[in-house]
Structures are given as C-alpha cells and as structure tokens.
Chain A
Amino acid sequence: MMKIVAGLGSIDEYIPYVQAGADEFFCGYVPASWTEKYGTLQALNRREVMNVNVQLGSMEDLKILKNMMDCYGIPVKLTFNSLFYSNEQYKEVAEIIERCMNVGFSTFIIADPALIVYVRQQGIRNCRIHLSGEMSEINSLFLKNIAQFDIERVIFHRKNTISEMKSCIVQCKNQIPEYEAFMLNELCHFTGAYCNSLHCDELCHLCHVPYELGTYDETEQKTEGKLVVAEETFLEDAEIYVTGATGCGLCSLYQLEQAGVTHLKIVGRGNYVDCERQDIAQLKKALNILEEIKENRENQSCISQMPCSDRGYERDECNSMRFKERIQEELFHGKCSKNCYY
C-alpha cells in the first residue's frame, strides 16, 4: 500500500496524526539563531512566517520528537527546502543538518541543487536526500543526472501528469527507489520551483493580489468565441471541513499506484489539527478502498456487471473508474471540490 506522508506544524501533532493513520511525517526546523540572523527575508525553508506555528523552533523539541519516533516507529524527515541559499548559509545549513543527524534525524527534503552539491561535497555521511516538490522541473533526464548524488526519493511537484510521473519512475527506478506525489491541499496557481515572490506574515502571496482579466492591447480579438466570459468564481474559505477543498488527487490513487508512486503527500504544516487528522483519515479510507478494488479485480465484474473487455475497457481502466466512483460515493458524498491535482 502507498504510504501517507503528513506535515507537522508542531510536535504536539505527532501522536494524533499517527493515530489517524499517517505512515511518515515531514516538518521544518528553524533554530532561533537562524530566525534572529535572517528573519523571514532569507528563510531556511518555504514556511517564511513568524506569527504562525508551522514548524519546530528548538532542538529540544526535535529530541522530544525523536523520543516519539522511537516509541511509535513513524519516521520524520526535515525540510530545508528554500529555493536557494547564499554565501555562508551553505555552511550554516550543513551544520544544522549535522546537528539534526546527531539527535537521530537522517532524512532531509532539499530543493536547492547547490545545497545538494554542497552536502555531498562536505561528505556528510548517511544523510538521506529527498528531492523537494519545490525542486526545478522533474523529468527523467534530470533525475538520472541528479541520481549521482544518491537521492532516495523524488517528490513530484504538483503540476505533473500521471503519465509523466510513470515515465520518470520506469526509467529511474533502479537509481532512485521512492516516489512521492501530492495528494491533498494547497493546489497553488504557480509552480513552486518558479515561485520567487514573498511568502511572509505582512503581505499576502503575490498570486492573491487583486487582479482582473485585461487585454494586451485594444486590437481585434482573434480568439473571440473561445473565451469563457463568465466572471471568475472563487472558493470561499470553508467554515466546515471539506476533503480536498483546496486541492485533491484522491480520485487518481489507482492510477498513481499503477504509475509506481510509493508515497502520498498531505500538505498541512500549519493547518488546523482537526482538518489534518480528517485529511489523513480520509486518505487512509481511500487507500483501503483501493486495496479492496485491487483484491477483487481478478474475480469481480465491472460497474455495469459486464466484463470490462465487453465494454471496451482494459481491466485497469475499469478498476480505476470503479475506484473513482466509490471515492465519490463514500468519501465525498457529492461534495467534491473539483480542485483536482491530476
């Protein structure tokens, strides 16, 4: 079964999320010394805020988290996924990574190719690297190239098609063993690797600034008729929990597994604890439905009670449709957000 990877905003979330069904966690760690030196102007990872609990800020909390990991056996990886660092920061980040390793954390999510080069050049041993979803474009040529740096996992960014992921996995499986895909929340309008604008407390994300559809010039419109003229609709902030309200890939689980994806990411650092717990539980439920479909695929007929082949479908295609139907019925109860990742 594919594993559920959930985000931690604080160590207090570890146990409730384990109980909800998480198989692995990721979280940020920003030492106070970094915050005091660089603030949010040069963040250590992509949670560039001070006023919200979105990551860990003390080494002692990391040690407590390690105690929890030892007890529950659910691993945590740490994110150092800023798109770039500068000058002496490479040395500082490498030192932080080594300190984290000394207390028992061995896996790090990195987005900056220069940091990967630096970490390997410094010979930091036993440091496992997961390529962040904020890394530049993922394609098999790039993956084969970066595999020389001993990469354990690729986290595909949000705007990948399943067929592209499959192609990458097929070609790189021998060099990179694990592949993670985004599953729930925060379907950004722009690609993370190319999002260079501010993410801070004081200003909204640049993509949230007011805008209107305008024209390039007042020339005759060549694509007239193709344009959907309706006013753009925006999702209101949900007052009640809706699975995948801001981004969802649940319907694609069957295809993702077929493609070779091994891990599923729930974006959630800083989310309400109860929402994240429900996200984990919903994803667990979806994975159980997937297992049922897979177990029955050899001996169960199609949705229409007719063999797949008679209806012109391959078995996998038919099972995928069957899976989607059950997800809609049993998880969404007709309240699908239609904010699909894939």
Chain B
Amino acid sequence: MLTDSVSMIPFALLSGFLYCRDEEVIEVRITELAENGFCFRTAQEVDSIEKIELHFYEEQDKKFRVIAIDHPRSLEVSSDEFSYTYEVQVHGLDEVKREQPCISDAKSKISASTTMYRVAVQGLIQQYYHYIQLKMSGDDATLSEVYTGYPAHLDEEITKNFVKQRQAWLRETFDMQIKEKDTDSTKIAGIDSYKNLEHSLLKDCELAIQLDHSTYYEKYLNHPIADFMKMYWEENAFSNHWLSKQTVTRLYIGNEFCHNLFPDWNQLICMMEKARSEGLDVTISFTYLREELLSQTEQGINQLYDWCKKMNFPIELVINDWGMLPLIQKKTDLFTPVLGVLLNKRRKDPRIKYKAKCDKELEQFMCNSLNNDFYQEHLQEKYGMNRYEYESCGYPIEIPKGRHSLHIPFYQTNTSQYCPLYARCKEGRRGKQSFVNGCPEYCSEYVFSYPDHLHMVGRFNSLFGYDTEILGVNSLLPYYVEHGIDRIVMNFM
C-alpha cells in the first residue's frame, strides 16, 4: 500500500518508462506517487519489466532528473476492461541493494539508495503544491514574480499617454546607445563582432516607412516627401538618430493588422501616384481577408492592377492571408507577393526575457517554419513568394537565405479581427466584440496603455511590443543586414 500518495501529477512533471525484456520501451502515466512507491497504468498486461525509469521535473534547474529502478517488484493492483494498474513498492530496496543496485541515477550513472527516490518524490510534490498554492491564490503577478523574477510591483506604473510613453522608451534606447559605445551590452552570442562595422553596412540596405492609418495617409498626401519625412521624424522624436539621416526610398501603405485601416481605394491610388512622382517604390500592406470583404477586395485589387499597368509601375503586396493569393495569381507581372508578419509566425512577448533567461533558451525562438527548405520551396514554387517580412522582437532571429525585410522598432504580439478597442469604446467592455465595418477609428485618439516597464501598447486592434535593443545596440542592424535583411521598415505606431 502506498502511503500519503498524490494522484495524477501532471505528466509533464513526471513520466515513466518501462524497459521490457524484449527491448520494448513503454511510455506510461504515473497515476499515483508516494515516498514508498508509485502506480502506473498500461493498456495490456505486462510481466517482463527489467527496469523502470521515472523522470522528475526539477523546476529550479529546469531539467529532468532520471531515477532508474532495476528489476522492480511490481504488483498489479487493479484492472478493468480498458487498462491494468500496477503498484511498485520502493521501500526496502536498500536491503536488496546489498546484492545489486536497484536504484540509480540513470544520467549520472551513480548507484544510489532509496533515499534518492524519496528525495526526488519529496521535491516534486513540494514543487507541485507550491505552484498550485500560488495559482489558487489568484494573484498572477506574485506567481510570475516568484517563478521568473517578473517585477510585478512595476505593473502599477502606467503612462496613459502613448506619445509620452513612447518618448520615454526612445530615450531609454538612446541612453543605451551612448552606453554601448563604451561597453558591450548585447548578450547575444556572435553579434558583438558586428558592432564595429557600424552604419557603412547599411549603404546597400533600403529604408522604408510604414503608413498605416488615416492620419499618415492624409499627411503624406498633403506634403512633399521631404517635408513629410522631416515631420515624421520629428513627431516620433527620432530626428537625432542616424537612421533618420538615411534616404527613405519605399513606402509601405496599408495596415497589416486591421481591415478598417486600409485606405480608401481612391485614396490609395492618389498616394501611389504621388509616390511614383517622388521616385518612391511602393509596397501595399494587406491584412487578413474577411469573407464579407472578398468581392470588395477583388474589385480593389483589379483597380490597383489596372492603374499599375497603365503607369507601368510594379509594386509589392504584403500578403497576410492565404486567400489573397488567388486574387493576384494572374497579376504577378506587376504584383510581387511578400509574406506578411501575420503569416510569419513566431513567439513574441515583451516578457520573454523572464521566461527564457539564458542564451540557450532564447536560441529556441530563433527559427520558425520559414527556416525550412521544404517550406521555402513550397512558397516559391506555389506562390512566387521569396521575400518575408520580419519584426525585431527582443531576441535574435535567424533569417533564412534570401532578401527579406525587418520592421522596427515595434512588433505585433496579438491581433483580434473584432477590435478590442472598438468594443471598449463603444460597448464599455473590451470583451464585447463583434465584426466592425465602418469604424469611427477610436484608435486615432485612444490606446490601451500597459505598464511602462513592459514596453507594450494596445494599438488599433492589436497589442504591440517595443524592441528596446534594435535601435540601441549598434551591432544588431548590421548583423541582420549581413544575414539576409536588405530592407528596414520603420514603424512608430
């Protein structure tokens, strides 16, 4: 009989493997755990177990400790029409150990006693109960603080004016840049060597800006590009940064995240006419494609294509919905599809540094589906897509071979097709969302403000993070330019 056992500890914290005489390895669920033994269940009767391995998760080291039990004395305790449950007694193994080691640490290969098993059980149960206790208290912030060092006390500091908040973030960036001249602040392996290459590397790199809402559409239409850019850098408190001295050669027009912020089709043509006359290249950013907006979008695409044909003006289209591709299938002489941010899936969260604390953990985020040859080939052969839109998002990204774009310094983390800001402003509840068509653009005045230390904002129908390092650490942009980025797209929200 097991004493003071705990049932159904989550499998991710504790798993079991049976090693049978016929060399079969059976992955089992540990259904009960106690200091004097444990239970597991199988689908069929087993009678030839030579060894059982128990894998205990140790939160502190974020590693699994493996305890192996050789020649276990298992006892079937119950069965039904679907399964067999076995109990393994662990107490008393010290006596057996005199003849042969019964318990060993499988990874370190050190023979051990029953004590080793008991310590592992005590540790796991203590750790599990600690988590449950914190979770049940309902205080997410405390739980985060305990487990990750997340500074929950700073959550109360919220600047409720986005422009001011953004200015403060940019100041932090500029301070970082100054400090970095004397010290190596970047913690990303291999990137330091790019620090001294400075800005000369960017000479072959295109600089673009994103016009993604009506205020910018109107301002651009009403000002020559030189005046507009001066205004743009000043408004965004960026005039002193070296990047603002580079020439912008391309406009991204449209919003990748909200269908209501795409310009009116006639306004779009006007902006394109102006861009063409000013010698700028154009990329049109589309977002997801709602079924209700299919025919409207198709008509707009045709209108756009006719104009491009008449002007002999090829453009790029940022695709954020696979349904867009059939609409431009026969128009690729003038339209080049580019894979958008919403389809370039990646783990993005301003708190990622708390979750992944070391370089090795951060490295796990570097790649995604686009780093695979089979998928790159599929996108190229099937859709003619060679350029992918990336965002700098607080950790290094491995850019695949090719010529790709990097959006800085903001990155999307969450988007809703039913706008949370609209719901908050219209209905008083962020969760009371519905499909919005014909929006009064509450986002021209309101945002969701988040704790200052998180560097994030609820803008449009989305949440965005601000990458604190991309403009502050001198080696980052040259690193990306050397590794497949040939275009930088500025967006200050």
Residues in A with CB closer than 8 Å to B32 are none
Of the listed stretches B142-150, B268-276, B475-483, chain A binds B142-150
Chain B residues with Cβ below 8 Å from A32 are 11, 15, 17, 27, 55
Contact A137 B288 (CB under 8 A): yes
CB contact between A61 and one of B29, B128, B416 (< 8 Å): that residue: B29
Known: A30-B12, A190-B462. 17 other contacts (CB 8 A): A32-B11, A60-B29, A86-B371, A137-B417, A138-B291, A140-B291, A142-B321, A144-B326, A190-B414, A193-B342, A198-B349, A206-B413, A213-B425, A214-B449, A215-B162, A219-B445, A223-B442
A187 CA to B416 CA in the complex, in Å?
12
Q: Are A196 and B346 in contact (CB under 8 A)?
A: yes
Interface segment, one of B97-105, B178-186, B197-205, B359-367: B359-367
Q: Does B368 contact A (CB under 8 A)?
A: yes
Does A315 belong to the interface (CB within 8 Å)? no
Q: Are A191 and B454 neighbours in the complex by a CB distance under 8 Å?
A: no
Roughly how many angstroms separate A156 CA and B131 CA in the complex, as a whole number?
34
User: Complex: how many Å from CA A90 to CA B325?
Assistant: 25
Residues of B within 8 A of A300 (CB): none
**Ranked 8 nearest A-B pairs via Cβ:** A57-B11, A214-B449, A63-B43, A214-B160, A141-B323, A142-B323, A194-B415, A32-B15
CA distance A136 to B286 in the complex (A): 14
On chain A, the residues within 8 Å of B413 by CB distance are 195-197, 206
Interface residues of B in 387-433 (CB under 8 A from A): 412-418, 420, 424-433
Residue in A68, A118, A145 whose CB lies within 8 Å of B374: A118
Partner of B291, one of A66, A167, A200, A202: A167
Instruction: Encode A206-244 as 1/0 by CB contact (under 8 A) with B.
Output: 111111111111110111001110101100010000000
Q: Which residue of A lies closest to B426 (CB)?
A: A228
Quick check: A137 and B41 within 8 Å, CB to CB? no
Point out the residues of chain A lying under 8 angstroms from B42, CB to CB.
60, 63-64
- Identify which of A10, A68, A71, A214 contacts B158 (C-beta below 8 A): A214
CA distance A201 to B425 in the complex (A): 32
User: Are A159 and B321 CB-contacts (below 8 A) given A85-B369, A222-B444?
Assistant: no
User: A230 to B431, alpha carbons, bound, how many Å?
Assistant: 14
Decide: A226 and B420 in contact? CB cutoff 8 A.
Answer: no
- List residues of chain A with CB within 8 A of the CB of B431: 187, 189, 339
CB distance from B40 to the nearest CB of A (A): 8
For A24-57 the 0/1 string (1 means CB < 8 A from B) is 0000001110011011111000000111110011
> Is there an interface contact between A50 and B57, defined as CB atoms closer than 8 Å?
yes
Q: Give the Cβ gap from B329 to chain A, nearest Cβ, in Å.
A: 10
**Inter-chain CB contacts under 8 Å: number:** 339
Asked if A211 contacts B294 (CB within 8 A), the reply is no
Within the complex, which residue of B27, B155, B291, B442 is in contact with A164, where a contact is CB–CB below 8 Å? B291
* Cα separation A219 to B420 with both chains bound (whole Å): 22
Residues of A within 8 A of B148 (CB): 202-203
B458 interface residue (CB < 8 Å to A)? yes
Cβ of A83 within 8 Å of any chain B Cβ, yes or no, is: yes
On whether A196 and B10 interact (CB within 8 A), knowing A145-B322, A216-B163, A230-B428, the answer reads: no
Looking at chain A, what size class is its interface with the partner chain?
Answer: 35 or more
Given contact pairs A214-B446, A217-B162, A196 touches B55 in the complex (Cβ within 8 A): no
Shortest CB distance B410–A (Å): 13
Assess A136 versus B288: contact at CB under 8 Å? Given A41-B364, A66-B43.
yes
A275 at the interface (CB under 8 A from B): no
Chain A residues in the interface with B (C-beta under 8 A): 10, 12, 30-32, 35-36, 38-42, 49-53, 56-61, 63-64, 66-68, 71, 83-87, 90, 112-115, 117-118, 121, 136-142, 144-146, 159-161, 163-164, 167-168, 187, 189-191, 193-198, 200-204, 206-219, 221-223, 226-228, 230, 232-233, 237, 338-339
| Contact in complex: B361, A194 (CB < 8 Å) | no
Distance from B133 Cβ to chain A, minimum over Cβ atoms (Å): 11
Q: In the assembled complex, which residues on chain A have CB atoms less than 8 Å from the CB atom of B29?
A: 56-58, 60-61
Say yes or no: B347 contacts A206, CB within 8 Å. no
Which chain B residues in 438-464 approach chain A with CB under 8 Å?
440-451, 454, 456, 458, 462-463
Q: List 25 A-B contacts (CB under 8 A).
A: A36-B64, A41-B347, A41-B361, A57-B10, A59-B26, A61-B28, A63-B43, A67-B83, A137-B289, A141-B324, A141-B326, A141-B327, A144-B326, A163-B292, A196-B345, A209-B454, A210-B158, A213-B446, A215-B445, A216-B445, A217-B161, A217-B163, A218-B161, A232-B430, A339-B431
Does B331 sit at the interface, judged by CB under 8 A?
no
